[in-house]
Amino acid sequence: MNDILPIILSIVAALAVIGGLIPVLLKTRKNINQYPGTRDANDPVLPRSGGTAVEDRAATTTDIPPAGTADVDTATVPDDAAGLEVIPVETPLPVAGRLMRLRERLVRSNNIMGKGLLALLSSDRIDENVWDEVEETLLLADLGTEPTMQLVDALRERVKVLGTRTPEQVKVLLREELIKLVDPSMDRTLNTRRHDDKPAVMMVVGVNGVGKTTTVGKLARVLVAEDKDVLLGAADTFRAAAAEQLATWGQRVGVPTVTSDIDGADPASVAYEAVKAGIDQEVDVVMIDTAGRLQNKVGLMDELGKVKRVVEKLAEVDEVLLVLDATTGQNGLNQARVFSEVVNITGIVLTKLDGTAKGGIVVAIQRSLGVPVKLIGLGEGADDLAPFEAEAFVDALLN
C-alpha cells in the first residue's frame, strides 16, 4: 500500500497541472481567432487615417439586395487599428498644374506623328508618293482607315488651294484639320454632380492589366482636388490584393473604401453595399472598381451587366468609364466595342499615352464608339491623370 500512495499523488499532481493549463490554452486560441483580418463581429470599426469609417456590414443581413440580384456578402472598410501601416494623407495636385505637366510630357513622348506629317507637307513638291507617305504615317499612328482618308482628302484640297506653302502655314492647316478629327465639340465633362438625395455613381471597367484600380485611385485624387467627397467600392473580388490596393489609394487622399471580407465575393453585392454606404454618408461621388475581364468571356461580361443592374436598384449610374491601354492600338478598339454592348459606356480613360507615338488612337476610339475620351494617363505618378483637352492634345502632337 505504501508503494501505491506515491503513484497516486503523482497522478493527482499531473492532473492539477493540466487543469491549470486548459484556461491558458483556450485564451490563446481565442486570441488567434481574433487576429486582425478576421475581426469579431462585435468589434468596432475604427476610422483610418484621414478617412471616415463606413458602417461595418459584416455582421448584418438587413440590407439584402432585391430578390434575384446579389447575395449579401460582408462589405466593410479594412480595419487599420491593429498595428497595420498607417498611410499619411496627401494633398493632390490642383487640376490646372497637373494639366500643364502632362502636356509637357505628351510633347516629349508623342510628337513623332505630328513632326512626320509636318515634314512631309512642307516638302517643296507634294506628289502622289508624298501623299502615300502621309497616309501611311496616319495609319501607323492608329488613326483608322476612315479618319485617315478624311484627313488626307481635306489636306489635299487645302494644299492645292494654298499653292506655295510655308512651314507655318502647313502647321496651321494641319492643326485645324486634326482638331476637327479629335472633335472638341464632344462633351468631356465627368458627371459627378450629386443628386438631391443620392451621390453620383461611377463604374470603372476594362480588361485585365489596363490599370483600372490605379485609375480609380488617381481619379479619386482628381475629385478630391476639386473638393468632392468620395467613397470607393472594391468590387474587384477576384484579383488578389485588389481591395487592399484600392484602400491604400483611398487612404492617401482620405477617402474611405468599402470592401468584402470574403474572397471571391459577389461583385454586385459589394457594389450595392458601396452605393448604400455612399447614400447613408451623403457623399458626392461613389466610384466602383470592377474586376478585369476578357472581352471574349461571355459569363464575365454578363456579370458586369449584373453589377450595373444591381447598383441601379439604389441609384442611377452616371458614368461608366472604360479604361484602355493606348499601347494596344487597334486591339483596344475591339475591346471597346464588346464592353459598349454590355454596359452603356459614357467615356474613355486612355492610359499609357506617354508610351506610344500612336496618338491617332484617340480619334479611332471616338469614331468607333461615338464616346469621348474624357481622361488621359501619362505616367506612373499619383497625379499623372488629367482631363482630356482636344486642342491641347493636338498642340502637343505638333510641337
Domains of the chain by residue range: 34-93+192-345, 96-182
* pLDDT at position 70 over 60: no
Fold: same for 34-93+192-345 and 96-182: no
CA distance readout (Å), 260 to 48, 124, 238, 304, 320: 16, 65, 11, 17, 22
* pLDDT at position 81 over 90: no
Beta bridge pairs of residue 349? 323, 375
Residue 219 is predicted with a pLDDT of: 93
* pLDDT at position 69 over 80: no
Candidates 3.90.1150.10, 3.40.50.300, 1.20.120.160, 1.10.3720.10; correct CATH number of 34-93+192-345?
A: 3.40.50.300
**Least confident residue range of 76-90, 276-290, 350-364:** 76-90
Residue 62 is predicted with a pLDDT of: 30
pTM: 0.75
Q: How confident is the model at residue 30 (pLDDT cuts 50, 70, 90)?
A: very low
* pLDDT at position 207 over 80: yes
Asked if 242 and 260 count as a contact pair (C-beta separation under 8 A), the reply is no
Residue 361 is predicted with a pLDDT of: 81
Q: Which range, 127-131, 206-210, 271-275, has the best average confidence (pLDDT)?
A: 271-275
- Give the pairing type, strands 257-260 and 75-76: antiparallel
Q: Mean pLDDT throughout 80-91?
A: 61
CA distance readout (Å), 186 to 138, 317, 392, 395, 396: 22, 20, 15, 18, 19
Residue 14 is predicted with a pLDDT of: 58
Q: What is the CATH number of domain 96-182?
A: 1.20.120.140
* pLDDT at position 6 over 80: no
Asked if 78 and 54 count as a contact pair (C-beta separation under 8 A), the reply is no
Sheet containing 347-351, strands listed edge to edge, beginning at the edge strand earlier in sequence: 75-76, 257-260, 230-235, 285-290, 200-205, 317-325, 347-351, 373-377, 385-387
Q: How confident is the model at residue 87 (pLDDT cuts 50, 70, 90)?
A: confident
* pLDDT at position 77 over 90: no
* pLDDT at position 36 over 50: no
Report the half-sphere exposure of 365 (CA within 13 A, side-chain side): 34
Q: How confident is the model at residue 355 (pLDDT cuts 50, 70, 90)?
A: low
Q: How confident is the model at residue 333 (pLDDT cuts 50, 70, 90)?
A: confident
**Least confident residue range of 76-85, 184-193, 383-392:** 76-85
**Least confident residue range of 6-10, 85-89, 214-218:** 6-10
Residue 346 is predicted with a pLDDT of: 94
Vertex 230, ends 224 and 231: CA angle to 5°? 145
Distance between CA atoms of residues 219 and 386, nearest Å = 8
The proportion of the chain whose per-residue pLDDT surpasses 70, expressed as a percent, equals 70
Beta bridge pairs of residue 287? 202, 232
Residue 79 is predicted with a pLDDT of: 44
Q: Mean pLDDT throughout 308-336?
A: 87
* pLDDT at position 177 over 70: yes
* pLDDT at position 35 over 60: no
Exposed / middle / buried, residue 239 (Cβ in 10 Å: 0-12, 13-18, 19+): middle
* pLDDT at position 83 over 50: no
Q: Mean pLDDT throughout 193-216?
A: 89
Q: Which residue has the higher pLDDT, 223 or 121?
A: 223
- Return the C-alpha torsion angle 104, 370, 194, 102, nearest 10: -10
SS (H, E, C) the chain: CCCHHHHHHHHHHHHHHHHHHHHHHHHHHHHHHCCCCCCCCCCCCCCCCCCCCCCCCCCCCCCCCCCCCCCCCCEECCCCCCCCCCCCCCCCCCHHHHHHHHHHHHHHHCCHHHHHHHHHHCCCCCCHHHHHHHHHHHHHCCCCHHHHHHHHHHHHHHHHHHCCCCHHHHHHHHHHHHHHHHCCCCCCCCCCCCCCCCCEEEEEECCCCCCHHHHHHHHHHHHHHCCCCEEEEEECCCCCCHHHHHHHHHHHCCCCEEEECCCCCCHHHHHHHHHHHHHHHCCCEEEEEECCCCCCCHHHHHHHHHHHHHHCCCCCEEEEEEEEEHHHCHHHHHHHHHHHHHCCCCEEEEECHHHCCCCCHHHHHHHHHCCCEEEEECCCCCCCEEECCHHHHHHHHHC
* pLDDT at position 297 over 80: no
Calculate the average pLDDT of the chain: 75
Residue 2 is predicted with a pLDDT of: 53
Residue 359 is predicted with a pLDDT of: 72
Q: 317: phi > 0 → left, psi -120 to 50 → alpha, else beta; which?
A: beta
Q: How confident is the model at residue 230 (pLDDT cuts 50, 70, 90)?
A: very high
* pLDDT at position 185 over 80: yes
* pLDDT at position 336 over 50: yes
Residue 276 is predicted with a pLDDT of: 96
Q: Mean pLDDT throughout 331-343?
A: 81
* Residue carrying the nine cell digits 507634294: 126
Residue 27 is predicted with a pLDDT of: 35
Q: How confident is the model at residue 232 (pLDDT cuts 50, 70, 90)?
A: very high
